[in-house]
Amino acid sequence: MDFWEYLSDRHQQLLADASQHASAVLQCMVAATLLGVLIGVVTYRSEWAGNLATLSTSTILTIPSLAMIGLLIPVLGLGVPPTVTALTLYGLLPIVRNAIVGLRGVDPSLVDAAKGIGMSRPARLLRVELPLAWPPILTGIRVSTQMLMGIAAIAAFASGPGLGNEIFRGIASLGSKNALNQVLAGTLGIIVLALLFDAAYVLLGRLTISRGIRV
Amino acid sequence: MSENDEGAAAPDHTTGATIELESLTKLYPGNPQPAVENVSMEIKAGETVIFVGPSGCGKSTTLKMINRLIEPSGGRIRINGEDVTDIDPVKLRRKVGYAIQSSGLFPHMTVAQNIALVPKMIGWSKSRIRSRVEEMLDLVGLDAGEFHGRYPRQLSGGQQQRVGVARALAADPPVLLMDEPFGAVDPITRDHLQDELIRLQRELHKTIVFVTHDFDEAIKIGDRIAVLRERSHIAQFDTPEAILTNPADDFVSGFVGAGAALKRLNLTRVRDVGITDYPTVTVEDPLQHIFDRLRESGTNEILLLDRRGRPYKWLRRGDLMRAKGSLARAGTLVHDTVTRDATLRDALEAVLTDNAGRVAVTGRRGAYEGVVDMETLMNSVHELLEADRLDALEHQHDLEEIRAAQTHTEQEGFGGVGGRA
């Protein structure tokens, strides 16, 4: 069976895996974005808190993903919970870092102006600082998503959802005639998903970044 | 000290409010020297007051304490008699317009969105905001249709600054604080913006507090100028005229710079000094009549007006002799005139460049109104300077009395401001 035959033969299974993969990444990205921006907002104004946030999120990133999932299994069991936890944690770093850099990079005279015309602290944050810091935050989100696409494949190790199952099955049955096709299908599927997500982010950027600050 | 016209029904526009600063002090932690020490001043409603001083003298800090962007460490601020030292700063700032250097416009919002910010925050209806935005753009001389949807980066520096002023005035605050608003634009644009501000203020009568380090800007715009030295100590607080003619001390005169008398000329308009009447004839008068007029006037020269009464030519006796019946080639063309709104400096310039030392003053549509010459200018300048000097002496006397009272209270050890380090 060559690769194309394999694809047409298994396309239903593959599509189900791909959609699960995409949905896992998307949901974890939403969680990571909310959490990451929140951490950024809370910490950016203090030198040490900001550094602490960046440092701890980058420490998380240095843990090999397989080890991380392995460590989470005894605590959270198998399946979705360890997958979601691991993906969200990995997704944090670029978002937290870019949120802090973005918020710190807002021209202080604009913040001063916002204060001066009588904007309250939440209004300043929501209407001035976050919109101005949004382009770097969105870049962080893109980087995170690319990263999670790959890491999500490891989730199959904890019987998580997604295209990782395809790859793991292929590796497990190495030598059988479909082994290579399985690994290839899983890998290519992840690449295609990553490209689709990236295109979606470009569109999101066009829609959400004000024309006044778009480069 | 109560002002009870606080809630007076506002007409179309809210006009200015009084501002009183009472022993305003700012101490920064870890610095035993206060950044601003014991500033007291009263600013009248509808007045434009300029804080001018060298950089680092605390003038900006003092300004920012008025809307409490910087919280004072001591002293009181009263706006229209109401003590605002302890009210919610956000509420205070919505009543006080604020314009800063390089406009402070939010780049991600359109011009209209920027201007609408404060009205939106205080809960105006959408339609009212929309018409207000247009009104404000119109007020600062920008075409509403064209600029409404633009982003700040699509505007020139001067246009941005105008929008900044429009935003500051959008909710019609009685007080406008301006922190070196024209510091970042080129000299020509700055000059235009200053003129615009003067015109605007003539219409609106807000209370404006304006910070600058440019003394020429101060005398151009200000009704009164506070010359500040280090720690925002008031070296002199008086009208531009008085400061120019009678600087309180060496610090002030150093700041005024050279050419105070010349700068003084900028403050008086031709309309304020006597212009002399001059014998005139029009091009439609018969030649004989012109001869008669010249003879009976006893002057050597007569001004010929065109059909619309605009100055056209200077005619001398000799010119008429040589004219031989036609005025077409006789006399010298009037090449320069000044309006009644021109400053004495402009008039002097025109008189100096005129080869006979006089210049015609014109009114509406360029019609002749009179003439200024060197002699009238000299006389009025001398009168002005003398009057200024007397005024300044009087004000200085007042200031000294206030200072004496202040030192007195300080020595009594009253008012727990200092020594908190």
pLDDT in tens, A17-59: 889 889 989 999 999 999 999 999 999 988 899 889 888 888 8
Is residue B360 within 8 Å of B279, Cβ to Cβ?
no
Is residue B37 within 8 Å of B60, Cβ to Cβ?
no
| Residue B155, min C-alpha distance to chain A (Å) | 11
Q: B121, A213: Cβ pair inside 8 Å? A: no
Which strand (E) or helix (H) includes residue B233? Answer: strand B233-238
Q: Cα separations (Å) of A145 from A54, A55, A82, A166, A193?
A: 18, 20, 18, 20, 10
Q: What is the pLDDT of residues A75-86, one digit of tens each?
A: 888 878 888 888
| Residue A127, min C-alpha distance to chain B (Å) | 9
User: CB distance from B239 to chain A under 8 Å?
Assistant: no
User: CB distance from B68 to chain A under 8 Å?
Assistant: no
Out of B97, B108, B167, closest to residue A210 by CB: B108
Residues B366, B368, B370, CA angle at the centre, nearest 5°? Answer: 135
Whole-model pTM: value is: 0.72
Please report residues of B whose CB lies closer than 8 A to that of A113: 98, 100, 104-106
List Cβ neighbours of B400 (8 Å cut-off, separation of 6 or more): none
Burial class, B351, CB count within 10 angstroms (exposed 0-12 / middle 13-18 / buried 19+): buried
The interface predicted TM-score (ipTM) is: 0.82
Kindly state the DSSP code that residue B31 receives in the 8-state scheme.
-
Q: Note down pLDDT in tens along chain B; length 421 residues.
A: 333 443 333 445 667 889 989 888 888 888 888 888 888 999 998 899 999 988 888 888 899 999 899 888 888 899 988 888 888 888 888 889 998 887 789 999 999 999 999 999 888 999 999 999 998 898 888 888 889 889 999 998 889 988 998 999 888 889 999 998 888 788 888 888 888 888 888 888 899 999 998 888 888 889 999 998 888 888 889 888 888 878 888 888 888 876 777 777 877 888 777 788 888 888 888 878 888 888 887 778 888 888 888 888 888 877 777 766 677 777 888 888 888 878 888 888 888 888 788 888 888 778 888 888 888 888 888 888 788 778 777 777 777 777 787 777 767 655 444 444 3
Out of B69, B90, B153, closest to residue A120 by CB: B90
List Cβ neighbours of A61 (8 Å cut-off, separation of 6 or more): A90, A93
| Residue A35, min C-alpha distance to chain B (Å) | 24
